[in-house]
Amino acid sequence: MLVLDLPEGKLARILAFYAICNLPRDHLSAVFREMSRVLAPSGLLLLAFRVGDELIHRDEMWGKPLSLDFFFYEPLLIMRLLRDAGFSIEEQVVREPYPPQVEYQSRRSYISAIKSGH
């Protein structure tokens, strides 16, 4: 997501559900600028992420060894970074987690943002 192999203004929409969950905070501005670059003016970004300020590290998942970080973000931070990258926020909602047998117990944020036109 830091360097998308697409020409400027190529996409009408980007759907990024939980795509930023493994990215540290210092990468987010560049990722959102790159998303803005490849979106056409008035292009739509739909973004979902886990809400909070925690970091969860896993050394194992589904019985396999790995090293993976999961970052949680506050919606106000993400909205500010999106605005800085040239987006206007259309809607932002937060939902509570579904039951434990369905998903990890964390709140989720969904943001709809439009790339500002030129």
Is there a contact between 31 and 85 (Cβ–Cβ < 8 Å)? no
d(CA 13, CA 81): 18
**In angstroms, what CA-CA distances link 74 with 3, 17, 27, 41?**
24, 15, 15, 26
| Token output for 118 | 């030129």
Residue 118 has a pLDDT of 56
What tokens appear for 2 in the block?
A: 């830091």
* Contact yes or no for 35/1 (Cβ under 8 A): yes
pLDDT at 104 (0 to 100): 87
Q: What mean pLDDT is predicted for residues 4-21?
A: 96
Question: In this prediction, what percent of the chain has a pLDDT beyond 70?
Answer: 99
Q: Considering the chain, what is the average pLDDT of its residues?
A: 95
The answer to whether 35 and 45 have CB atoms below 8 angstroms apart is yes
Distance (Å, whole) CA 113 – CA 69: 26
**Confidence at residue 61, expressed as pLDDT on a 0 to 100 scale:** 86
pLDDT tier for residue 65 given thresholds of 50, 70 and 90: very high
Options 3.40.309.10, 3.40.50.150, 3.40.190.170, 3.10.580.10; CATH for 11-115 is 3.40.50.150
Give percent of the chain above pLDDT 90.
92
Q: What is the pLDDT of residue 29?
A: 98
What distance in Å separates the CA atoms of residue 33 and residue 35, rounded to the nearest whole number?
5
Query: What DSSP letter does each residue of 89-103 carry, written as one string?
Result: EEEEEEEPPPPTTTS
Looking at residue 117, what is its pLDDT?
A: 73
Q: For residue 14, give the H/E element and its range.
A: strand 11-17
Task: Tell me the average pLDDT across 37-65.
Answer: 95
